[in-house]
Amino acid sequence: MTVSEATIWKRCSTCKKGIPFGAGYFACSVSTCNRRGTDFAFCSVACWDGHVPVLRHRDAWAEEERAPTAEEWARRQRESAEREARPQTGAQAPRAADRAPATTAPAPRAGAPQDVLVVVSKLKLYVRATAGMHCSDGVVEVLSDRLRALCDRAVENARAAGRRTVMDRDFHGVH
C-alpha cells in the first residue's frame, strides 16, 4: 500500500478521486444510495450531481458529511468483522419451526433468476393491516418459490394453448 493510499478513506463514486480520512465529502439524501453495498460518497457537489440523472432521483440533495478518521474507520471495520463472525443467537437465529424443509423449494431452472418476486414492504404492510401480525423475512423466499412454481404451470398452460403470451386465464385452476 502506498503512502497516499493509506490516507484515503474512500474514492469518489463518480470521478474516483480519493477522499481522505477526516475530510468533507457529499452524500446523497436518497436512502437507497446510502445502504450497505452502495454507500455512495462524492468529492464535490458536481460529482453528486452527475449521479442524479443516472439513478433517476426525483427529489434529492447533496448532504455534506465528514469522513471518519483512520482510527474510527479501523474500529468500525473490526466491529463489523466481529459481528459477522459471531454465531447467530436468540432472535437472530432462525428457529427450526421457522425454517422450511429443504424439499419444499422447487429445483431452480437453469439460467432462471432466483430473485425475490414480491415487494417485501407491501407484503409486510398487508399482513399487518389485515391480521395485525408481523411477517418474517423468511416468508419472502417461500412466496417467491411458490410464485415461480405458479408461473411455470401458467407457462405450460399458455404453451398448450399455442400462445407465446402468458395470460391471467393461464393461472386459473393452477395451485
Do residues 59 and 123 both lie within one domain? no
Q: Residue 55 pLDDT more than 80?
A: no
CA distance 36 to 51: 18
For the stretch 76-86, pLDDT in tens is 888 888 877 77
Q: Which helix (H) or strand (E) holds 155?
A: helix 138-160
Does residue 85 lie in a domain region? no
Q: Residue 29 pLDDT more than 90?
A: no
Give residue 26's domain range: 3-71
pTM of the predicted model as reported, rounded to 2 decimal places: 0.45
Does residue 31 lie in a domain region? yes
CA distance 40 to 33: 6
Does residue 161 lie in a domain region? yes
Do residues 128 and 172 both lie within one domain? yes
Task: Report pLDDT for 50.
Answer: 84
Task: Report pLDDT for 102.
Answer: 42
> How many domains are contained in the chain?
2
Task: Report pLDDT for 1.
Answer: 43
Does residue 91 lie in a domain region? no
| 64 backbone φψ class: left, alpha, beta (φ>0; ψ -120 to 50) | beta
Percentage of residues of the chain with pLDDT beyond 90: 29
Task: Report pLDDT for 101.
Answer: 45
Do residues 112 and 159 both lie within one domain? yes
For the stretch 112-166, pLDDT in tens is 667 888 888 888 889 999 999 998 888 888 998 899 999 999 999 999 999 999 9
- Assign 3-state DSSP to the chain and report helix, strand, coil percentages, each to 5: 40, 10, 50
Q: Residue 97 pLDDT more than 70?
A: no
Q: Which helix (H) or strand (E) holds 18?
A: strand 18-20
> Cell 403470451 sits at which residue?
165
Does residue 80 lie in a domain region? no
Q: Are 41 and 25 in contact (CB under 8 A)?
A: yes
Q: Are 9 and 19 in contact (CB under 8 A)?
A: yes
Does residue 66 lie in a domain region? yes
Does residue 52 lie in a domain region? yes
CA distance 17 to 66: 16
Mean pLDDT of all residues in the chain? 81
Do residues 105 and 168 both lie within one domain? yes
Q: Residue 9 pLDDT more than 80?
A: yes
Give the dihedral sign, CA 36/42/48/53: negative
Q: Are 21 and 69 in contact (CB under 8 A)?
A: yes
Q: H helices within 20-137, ranges in order?
A: 45-55, 70-85, 120-131
Which residues are CB-contacts of 123 (< 8 A; sequence separation ≥ 6)?
135, 139, 140, 143
Do residues 104 and 174 both lie within one domain? yes
Does residue 168 lie in a domain region? yes
